[in-house]
Amino acid sequence: MGRLLLACLVAAAATGLVAGQETANWTTEQDHQQMKDQLGIRTLRPGPSGRAAAGEPGAANYDSSEANPFPDLPDPLLLRNGRTVTDAKTWWSERRPEIVEDFEREVYGRVPSNVPRVVWHVNESVTTAVGGVPVLARHVVGHVDNTRLPAIAVEIQMSVVRPVQEKSRVPVLIMFGNGALPSRPPATDAAAGPPTSVEQLIAAGWGYASINPGSIQADNGAGLTKGIIGLANEGRPRKPDDWGALRAWAWGASQALEFLRTDPAVDSTRVGIEGVSRYGKAALVAAAFDQRFAVVLVGSSGEGGAKLHRRNFGEAVENLTAASEYHWMAGNFLKYGAADATFGSRNAGDLPVDSHELIGLVAPRGVFVSYGVPERGDANWLDHQGSYMAVVAAGPVFRLLGVKDVGDTRDYRTATMPPVGTGLVEGALAWRQHDGGHEDRSNMKYFIEWASRVMASSAPGAARSRGAERQR
C-alpha cells in the first residue's frame, strides 16, 4: 500500500467517513478493516481453532513439547537501558512506568484525557435477602456526560448490595455481572449445589457490586464508535493506541469504585475487583492500572488475561487480532497477528511485554489467579499451565516489593501447576485450581479467606501511596 493511499485512509477515518459510510452504522468487519488500513496490514494470520481435532489443519496446539517456541520472556526487573532493578524506588519511578507505557501503547490502549464525567444516582433501594441473609440492595446508574455528542448515551448499570446486620464498614467486591438488583430466591434446596459467589460474600460479611459491562461498552467491534469509547472519541473510529473494550470495562469498574468511595457503609480501602473469562481479563487490567483496588480475583482469563502471550497452547495472539476479538485490545495489537504490514510482520515474540508483567503491575496488592478443570468445562483452550507460568514469572516483582508470592521460585519454564485443589494462597500472589468448570464460585471461599488476610496485613492505602496512578 502506498504511503499516500494510507494517509488518505487515515484522514478519512479521522473524519468519521470511510467509503461513504457513517461510523455510527459501521459493522464489525468495516471497523476491523479500517484499523488494518491505518496500520498498513493487508492480511492477518488466522488464529488456531479450538474445535478442530488434533492433526487437522488450523487446530490449536495442545502438545506441551511444542508450547514454548520463544526462549525468553521480557524481564520485569530489567530497565530499557539494560540496568537491573534492585530496589522499590527504581521500580516505582522508572521500571513500572516503562511497563505501563508498553501495555497502553501496544496491548490494551490508552484511556483518553477527555473521558466525560460520570454522575451517579440511586435509582431504587430495596431490602431483600441473599442466601437467607437480609441485605440492603440499591440499583445505581452512572450517567456519563454526553453534552458533546447527545446521540451517544452511556448509562452504567450497577447494583450495590450489603448485609444489613453489619454495622461497621464492609469490604466490597466489584463483579462484572448483569447490574440488576438481586431477586429473593426460593427456599434453599440442598440438592441445588453450593452457594453462589454473592451468597458466599454476603455470608462472610462482605458487600458486592454487580456492574454491567455492556452498559459501558458493547462486546463487539461494531460498538467501538458507540459506548464510552465512541462517546469520548465523538463517534470517530479509534486510532491505533486508543483503548479497547477490556480497558473500557476496567475504566467502568474504576468509576464504580469512585461511587463506593462516597458510601459511608463501604471500607474503600478494602474494595476488590472480580471477573471470569473475558471479564477475568478486564478485572486484571482494572487492578493493574488502578492501584486503588486492594485485591483482584482473576477467573479463567486465558489469552489476553493471565495466560502468557508467548505460549503456543490453545488460544493465541492471532485469535485476539481476529474480527471476533480485536475490539478487546488496542488497534496496535493487530500488528502482532499480521502476515504482512508496512513495518514488517510480527508475532507474540515481538510484544514488548507479556502477561507476567501485567500481574506484576498489581504488586504489592493481592492477585488471586483462579482456574477450573477441563473435565468440567474450563477448557484446555485457556492454557492453565501458561497462566501458572506467568504467575511464577511475576514473583520477582512481588518479592522486590516485600510481599510473598506463590513460593515457587523455579524457572517459569520448568514450573508446573500444583495438583487440583492445592492452593498456593499464603502470599499476596495466589494460585488455586478448583475442581469445577468455567467459573470462580468454586474458589470464592478460598478467595474470601485469602483476601481478608491480605487486606488485614496491609496498612490502609499503603500500596496506593507509592506513586499511585489513578485511572481516569
Domains of the chain: 118-465 (3.40.50.1820)
Q: Which of 329, 301, 296 is nearest to 314 (CA)?
A: 301
Specify the pLDDT at position 341. 81
Query: From residue 330, how far is each of 106, 110, 240, 315, 320 by CA, in Å?
Result: 7, 8, 6, 18, 10
Which amino acid belongs to residue 361?
Answer: L
Ranges under pLDDT 70 in the chain: 1-23, 184-193, 459-472
CA 381 to chain centre: 18
114-169: per-residue pLDDT in tens? 999 999 999 999 999 999 999 999 999 999 999 999 999 999 999 999 999 998 99
Residue 158's DSSP bridge partners are 140, 211
Give the per-residue pLDDT at 471. Answer: 41
Name which of 287, 307, 289 is nearest 297 in CA terms.
Answer: 287
CA distance 136 to 145: 28
Note the pLDDT tens digit of each residue in 251-296.
999 999 999 999 999 999 999 999 999 999 999 999 999 999 999 9
pLDDT at 184: 62
Q: Which runs of consecutive H residues, i.e. helices, occur in 161-239?
A: 197-203, 227-232
Q: 444 is written with which cell numbers? A: 470464592
Confidence (pTM)? 0.93
Q: In this predicted structure, what is the pLDDT of residue 342? A: 79
DSSP codes, 130-166: ETTEEEEEEEEEEEE--TT-TT---EEEEEEEEETT-
Instruction: Return the DSSP state at 222.
Output: G
DSSP string of 336-372? GGBSSBTT----GGG-S--HHHHHHHHTTSEEEEEE-
Contact partners, residue 75, CB within 8 Å, separation at least 6? none
pLDDT of residue 53: 86
Q: Which residues contact 275 (CB under 8 A, 6 or more apart)?
A: 175, 176, 281, 282, 283, 284, 297, 298, 299, 301
Q: What is the largest CA-CA distance in the chain?
A: 68
Q: What is the pLDDT at residue 185?
A: 58
What is the reported pLDDT for 252? 98
Q: Would you call the peptide bond into 364 cis, given omega within 30 degrees of 0 as the criterion?
A: yes
Distance, CA of 305 to CA of 4 (rounded, Å): 37
Quickly list H helices, 95-136: 96-102
The DSSP secondary-structure symbol of 70 reads: S
Q: What local confidence, expressed as pLDDT, does residue 22 receive? A: 67
Rg (CA), the chain: 22
Parallel, antiparallel or unpaired: strands 155-163 and 133-144: antiparallel
**Using an 8 Å Cβ cutoff, are 314 and 301 in contact?**
no
- What cell does 394 get? 511475576
| Contact predicate 408/337, CB 8 Å | no
Task: Identify the H or E element spanning 318.
Answer: helix 317-320
- Classify residue 68 as left (phi > 0), alpha (psi -120 to 50) or beta: beta
